[in-house]
């Protein structure tokens, strides 16, 4: 669905409520209190009544929208813009598009969606032939933010990110980007099993932090890199992904605070992994987003 068509179709709060109700009922409504599945909808109160225990379950309950006071139309529009358009948006731009008078709720909503995007991608591990390397992303940290209980003195710090891409003869398939505390063997060993399946073949450079991969995956290939050109030839997709992610972060969000870096990378990888989805996949993606119980 094109943006203009979408905005026309869901131009009122009532139509947006109806959209979310239909989507949630399609995936099956279950009472949060007793687990019963016999529920009836009360349109005037925007909730379902449980026929078993009488519990009244709001439309936002157990979704990313829980505890939010923002109108459904705003949620639907932001989800559409974040999922279906190629361009990413900063919270400031989104606030302008929506004509909303407050920045903070829009910022918070977008971060909740980014966290959910990360949770969706956490369900999958990369398999087959995987390129793995590290990237350094410029983060921004306010003077006085604390790290290990001590005030942090620097303004800017490079965030270390493990980047893995699995590929086949046609090119890159799926991407994962994970912020790590350090490039130590311990931190790398902890993150790799979450990113890459044990049966994969993984190619890395000779950095010592990757030596535990010999035990973590079936086949670990090490390529000693001698110059910059060799990096691009050996890890082409990882470096394209790093370069594109950096451009996007710098171009759209400018100064990304370190503590939110993973959220922005979640959005980038979520979009990348679904770049070949057709326009009509929107409903499916919305179901995926609504299916995640909000528990942060
Ligand atoms: Zn019930």
**Measured in angstroms, how far is the CA atom of residue 58 from the centroid of ligand 1?**
13
Percent above pLDDT 90 for the chain? 56
The alpha carbon dihedral of 117, 82, 94, 158 has a sign of positive
CATH topology of domain 129-256: Nucleotidyltransferase; domain 5 (3.30.420)
Which one, of 118, 124, 127, 132, lies nearest residue 212 by Cα? 132
**Measured in angstroms, how far is the CA atom of residue 69 from the centroid of ligand 1?**
24
88-124: pLDDT as tens digits: 899 999 999 999 999 999 999 999 999 988 988 898 9
Distance CA 143, CA 150 (A): 11
If one compares 294 and 50, the residue with the highest pLDDT of the two is 50
If one compares 135 and 86, the residue with the highest pLDDT of the two is 135
pLDDT score recorded for residue 295: 41
**Measured in angstroms, how far is the CA atom of residue 72 from the centroid of ligand 1?**
24
252-284: pLDDT as tens digits: 887 788 889 999 999 999 989 988 776 666 776
**Measured in angstroms, how far is the CA atom of residue 119 from the centroid of ligand 1?**
28
Please determine, for residue 3, whether its predicted confidence score (pLDDT) is greater than 80.
Answer: no
Q: Phi, psi at residue 232, to the nearest 5°?
A: -65, -35
Please determine, for residue 294, whether its predicted confidence score (pLDDT) is greater than 60.
Answer: no
Burial 56-94 (b: 16+ CB within 10 A, else e): ebebbbbbbbeebebebbbbbbbbbbbbbeeebbebeeb
- Split at pLDDT 50, 70, 90, the class of 157 is low
User: What is the distance, to the nearest Å, from the Cα of residue 211 to the centroid of all Cα atoms in its chain?
Assistant: 29
114 touches 263 (CB < 8 A): yes
- Split at pLDDT 50, 70, 90, the class of 12 is very high
Please determine, for residue 239, whether its predicted confidence score (pLDDT) is greater than 80.
Answer: yes
Percent above pLDDT 70 for the chain? 89
**Measured in angstroms, how far is the CA atom of residue 20 from the centroid of ligand 1?**
20
**Measured in angstroms, how far is the CA atom of residue 65 from the centroid of ligand 1?**
21
pLDDT score recorded for residue 296: 39
Query: Ligand 1 is a single-atom ion; what residues have CB below 5 A from it?
Result: 31, 33-34, 36, 50, 52-53, 55
Please determine, for residue 201, whether its predicted confidence score (pLDDT) is greater than 50.
Answer: yes
- Boundaries of CATH 3.30.420 in the chain? 129-256
44-80: pLDDT as tens digits: 889 999 999 999 999 999 888 888 999 999 999 999 8
98 touches 74 (CB < 8 A): yes
Residue 36, number of CB atoms within 10 A of its CB: 15
pTM of the model: 0.87
**Measured in angstroms, how far is the CA atom of residue 43 from the centroid of ligand 1?**
18
pLDDT score recorded for residue 292: 60
**Measured in angstroms, how far is the CA atom of residue 240 from the centroid of ligand 1?**
50
- Split at pLDDT 50, 70, 90, the class of 245 is very high
**Measured in angstroms, how far is the CA atom of residue 57 from the centroid of ligand 1?**
9
Name the pairing type of β-strands 219-222 and 129-140. Answer: unpaired
**Measured in angstroms, how far is the CA atom of residue 61 from the centroid of ligand 1?**
13
**Measured in angstroms, how far is the CA atom of residue 56 from the centroid of ligand 1?**
8
**Measured in angstroms, how far is the CA atom of residue 52 from the centroid of ligand 1?**
5
**Measured in angstroms, how far is the CA atom of residue 62 from the centroid of ligand 1?**
14
pLDDT score recorded for residue 85: 75
**Measured in angstroms, how far is the CA atom of residue 75 from the centroid of ligand 1?**
27
**Measured in angstroms, how far is the CA atom of residue 293 from the centroid of ligand 1?**
17
**Measured in angstroms, how far is the CA atom of residue 224 from the centroid of ligand 1?**
61
Opening angle at CA 239, ends 206 and 166, nearest 5: 80
Mean pLDDT in residue range 210-231? 90
């Amino acid at each position: 669905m094109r943006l203009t068509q979408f905005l026309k179709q869901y131009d009122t709060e009532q139509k947006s409520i109806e959209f979310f109700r239909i989507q949630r009922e399609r995936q099956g409504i279950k009472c949060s209190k007793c687990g019963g599945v016999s529920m009836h909808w009360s349109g005037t109160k925007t909730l379902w009544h449980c026929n078993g225990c009488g519990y009244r379950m709001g439309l936002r309950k157990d979704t990313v929208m829980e505890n939010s006071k923002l109108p459904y139309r705003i949620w639907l529009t932001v989800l559409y813009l974040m999922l279906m358009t190629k361009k990413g948006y900063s919270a400031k731009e989104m606030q302008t598009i929506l004509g909303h008078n407050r920045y903070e709720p829009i910022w918070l909503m977008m971060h909740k969606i980014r966290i959910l995007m990360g949770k969706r991608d956490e369900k999958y591990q990369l398999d087959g032939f995987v390129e793995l390397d590290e990237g350094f992303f410029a983060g921004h940290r306010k003077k006085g933010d604390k790290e290990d209980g001590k005030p942090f003195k620097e303004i800017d710090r490079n965030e270390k990110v493990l980047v893995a891409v699995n590929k086949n003869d046609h090119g890159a398939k799926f991407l994962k980007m994970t912020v790590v505390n350090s490039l130590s063997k311990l931190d790398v060993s902890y993150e790799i099993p979450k990113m890459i399946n044990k049966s994969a073949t993984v190619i890395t450079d000779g950095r010592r932090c990757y030596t535990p991969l010999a035990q973590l995956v079936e086949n670990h290939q090490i390529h000693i890199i001698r110059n910059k050109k060799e990096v691009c030839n050996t890890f082409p997709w990882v470096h394209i992904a790093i370069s594109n992610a950096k451009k996007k972060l710098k171009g759209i969000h400018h100064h990304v605070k370190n503590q939110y870096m993973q959220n922005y990378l979640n959005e980038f990888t979520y979009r990348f992994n679904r770049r070949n989805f057709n326009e009509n996949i929107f409903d499916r993606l919305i179901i995926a987003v609504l299916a995640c119980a909000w528990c942060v």
